[in-house]
Amino acid sequence: MDLTDERTVSGTLGFGPARVVKGTGDGVLTRLPAVGTKVRRGTALYRVDDKPVTVFYGATPLFRTVDKIGLHGRDVLEIRRNLAALGYSSRSTDRDVSDDSLLDAIERWERDRDHVPSGAQRATLSDLPGPSLTPGEVVVLAGPGRVSDVTAQAGDPVAGPLLSITSTAAVVSVPMSPADAATVHSGMAVTVIAPDGASSPAKITAVGRAVTEGDESAKLSVTVTPDKPLSAYDAAPVQVRITTLSRKGVLAVPVGALVALAEGGYAVQRTDGSLVAATTGAFAGGMVQVSGPGITDGLPVVTTS
């Protein structure tokens, strides 16, 4: 028979932990996004003094004005990569050093972003300020996201916490005891069941390492990612079905058929009263895997209720 051991645990459908986005520089907030807004590179996340603050991807916040040749650092490399991704490429042998090519890309991007008209309607180059990118013009995020909360209001100073962003992919957070969490691992296939009964195959994508105190005992957070959208809700209680053991085509008997031997180990009892030594394997659903000489398919054994 096949032995399968399943358990169902409770979890919460959401978008994972939120990251607070802070504004920099001077100015007044004139527009903020709505909760649920998708955030991606090149879009304006909010506006300051009615000017857009654009999303770049990266790990290093823009901490200085890039407006001249010879500046060196990861911020320069991030600007170059983001502009290239937006269609404003620049050529350089030292990609983390600002040069004429990068400043030209910044200038082209800013003209398009600010919708500076061309031809006779546009001022001559000498009338325009030199190319520069200041910290307040862009906000650097780790990647695409979704606005989960907005704490600032239009009219507030830009400097300070403004909003929170989560992942765009819905995930399920499952609190588990350290002992239970030790039986699962990243990549493990599970099933998520929504409140309306709909189910979706899913995978465990992270097993937390930080123990927190729950209502009754210490817990670890296990993250489960559904393979397909599960619910129209942004948050909902769900169930996660986890198969912790699976054995295909094994010989098994009811647990009550095991006889503990005085010398150690187990046996099963034939209907004539004789014993056959048995090596036990997996336990699941009141059955136990057995093997050994004399243990054959269809062997009648005595079992207790």
User: Sorting pLDDT into bands at 50, 70 and 90, what band is 277?
Assistant: very high
pLDDT tens digits for 107-137? 999 999 876 665 534 454 445 567 999 999 9
Q: What's the whole-number average pLDDT of the chain? A: 90
Q: Check whether residue 239 and residue 183 sit in a common domain.
A: yes
Please state the pTM of the whole predicted model. Answer: 0.69
Residues 192 and 125 in one domain: no
Q: Are residues 117 and 85 in the same domain?
A: yes
SS3 assignment for 22-45: EECCCCEEEECCCCCCEECCCCEE
Which residues sit opposite 164 in a β-bridge? Answer: 20, 149
pLDDT given at position 232: 72
| Per-residue pLDDT, 125 | 46
Q: Is residue 299 part of a domain?
A: no
Instruction: Write out the residue range of the structural domain in which residue 90 sits.
Output: 63-133
- The CATH code of the domain that includes 234 is 2.40.30.170
Residues 155 and 113 in one domain: no
Q: Looking at residue 305, what is its pLDDT?
A: 65
**Top mean-pLDDT range of 45-49, 93-97, 173-177, 248-252:** 45-49
CB 98 within 8 A of CB 66: yes
Residue-wise pLDDT for 24-41, tens only, equals 999 999 999 999 999 999
Count structural domains, the chain.
4
Q: Is residue 117 part of a domain?
A: yes
| Cα gap 194→292, rounded to integer Å | 44
